[in-house]
Amino acid sequence: MEGLLNKRVLVGVCGGIAAYKSADLVRRLREIEAEVRVVMTPAACEFVRPLTFQALSGHPVLTELFDPAAEAAMDHIALARWSEVVLVAPASANFMARLAHGFADDLLTTLCLATQAPLVVAPAMNQQMWLAPATQRNCKIIDRRGVLVLGPSAGDQACGEIGPGRMLEPEQLVRGLATLFESGALAGLHVLITAGPTREAIDPVRYISNRSSGKMGYALAQAALSAGAKVTLVSGPVCLRAPRGVRLICAESAQEMYEAVMPLAARVDIFIAAAAVADHRLDRAASQKLKKSEKPLSLQLSSTVDIVSEVAQLAKRPFVVGFAAETEDLEANAGDKLKSKRLDMVAANRVGLGQGFEAEENELYVVWKGGSRFLPRMLKRDLARELMQLIRARYRETHPTESP
């Protein structure tokens, strides 16, 4: 977390039961020697007293736009200019709506409009409020304006319901915040990523494929780019736009993806095999459309090339990260893949029942030689940043003379 050392962090606290987590957030920021000021909305004061944050931050807490004490020491414009980053945690549905539409009717929204510092929000609300079309629309508005949205995660909620809307844990927020000041963490490195499914032709109309959307691979490409890396993305057929600044190579079949990856693999520093490559292909695809018949259709299948294994066997190999989509025995299967394919790291996730493929959220069990870590369920863009931090840390451990 060295990126936050001596950084000036303004923490905004909105009303909600998650406000109690913000006390731990402030404590953690102080522990890594960030300088912290806290602004609370009136609703937040109903959940946690300002005195708590004053004791943890070491500075008076501001709650009113025209607080005489605040104006005497540091007016709201000066505080906006003081901040190197503004983090609103928890960010309520009401706050996000006002932020999206430019309201400045209290101290916190005024600061958010007045600052030029990066703005980060950590949503926290009832799962139905989070899923409401109005909230999702407001989230998209602030995202387009460059506001970094961290979370929410899913799980049990204080109201007794289960679903998305939980504020990320303080440790996760600190790590996410640190990435804003580590844009050069992968500077000088070339990262090659595969994403999406492949399609293996049956005839000119039909194909064998899987349910991969490519969202995780594309999120990893953005995370690597944001960390300063040169990024090449080899993508199967998806309905996504590649991040600006990423070199995109399109591939349809497993063989096409293999032919795109192998000439680059020995020249890159990190290879992340996030694509869901089809395991089988037809021995011979039909040249004409197969007509429907009463007779059973038999397809002769052969195994496709194992791209991640081929890269791992190169004499001059990059740091190799594989993905594993599992329906059972997640940890055991991830460990087996790490060893059998001689990978440096494996990120495994369960698929099915609304997880993994086609979902906006995911969770990962990440394993490497001598260690492992569980990344809890969160939006894939947040998960990609957390995974990229793990990859970066492990890469630096195994390549100490080559890391930036």
Look at residue 337 in the predicted model and tell me its pLDDT.
95
Answer yes or no: do 203 and 161 share one domain. Answer: no
pLDDT, tens only, 81-107:
888 899 999 999 999 999 999 998 888
By the 8 A CB rule, do 86 and 118 touch?
yes
CA dihedral 14, 17, 18, 22 (to 10 degrees): 70
Q: What is the secondary structure of 73-121 as a DSSP string?
A: H--HHHHHHH-SEEEEEEE-HHHHHHHHTT--SSHHHHHHHH--S-EEE
Q: How far apart are CA 370 and CA 88, in angstroms?
A: 36
In a domain, 403, yes or no: no
15: left (phi over 0), alpha (psi -120 to 50) or beta: beta
Determine contact, residues 341/308, Cβ cutoff 8 Å. yes
Q: State the pTM of this model.
A: 0.65
Whose tokens are 């690597």? That residue is 224
Residue 21 lies in a domain: yes
Q: Which amino acid, one-letter code, is at 349?
A: N
Q: Are residues 98 and 203 in the same domain?
A: no
Considering the domain architecture, whether residues 222 and 304 belong to the same structural domain is answered as yes
CATH number of the domain enclosing 167: 3.40.50.1950
Q: How many CB atoms lie within 10 A of CB 108?
A: 27
Q: Is the pLDDT of residue 32 over 70?
A: yes
Of 181, 211, 236, the residue at which a domain comes to its end is: 181
Query: Would you say residue 244 lies in a domain?
Result: yes
Of 157, 181, 205, the position where a domain reaches its end is 181
Same domain, 40 and 164: yes
Q: Do residues 29 and 4 make contact, with C-beta atoms less than 8 angstroms apart?
A: yes
> Are 371 and 312 members of one domain?
yes
Instruction: Tell me the two tokens of residue 313.
Output: 């066997």
CB atoms within 10 A of CB 140: 12
- Domain-located, residue 278: yes
Domain shared by 275 and 164, yes or no: no
Query: Are both 96 and 233 inside the same structural domain?
Result: no
Which of 181, 206, 231 lies at the terminal end of a domain, its last residue?
181
pLDDT at 217 over 50: yes
Euclidean distance between the first and the last CA atom of the chain, given in angstroms as a whole number: 16
pLDDT by residue (tens digit) across 270-314? 999 999 999 999 888 888 888 888 788 888 889 999 999 999 999
Q: What is the pLDDT at residue 94?
A: 94
Count CB-CB contacts under 10 A for residue 54: 14
Average confidence score pLDDT of the chain:
88
Domain that holds residue 323: 190-286+293-398
Residues 145 and 194 reside in one and the same domain: no
Query: Do 195 and 213 contact (CB within 8 A), yes or no?
Result: no
Do 32 and 89 fall within a single domain? Answer: yes
Any domain includes 83: yes
Within a domain: 228: yes
Give the integer Cα–Cα distance in Å for 24 and 3: 19
**Number of Cβ atoms within 10 Å of the Cβ of 41:** 23
* pLDDT tier, 164 (very low <50, low <70, confident <90, very high otherwise): confident
Q: Are residues 133 and 268 in the same domain?
A: no
Asked whether residue 99 falls in the same domain as residue 26, the answer is yes
**Has residue 354 got a pLDDT over 70?**
no
**Annotated catalytic sites, by residue?**
159
CB 327 within 8 A of CB 336: no
Q: What is the distance between the alpha carbons of residues 179 and 185, in angstroms, rounded to a whole number?
A: 9
User: Which two structure tokens, joined as six digits, stand for 167?
Assistant: 């504020």
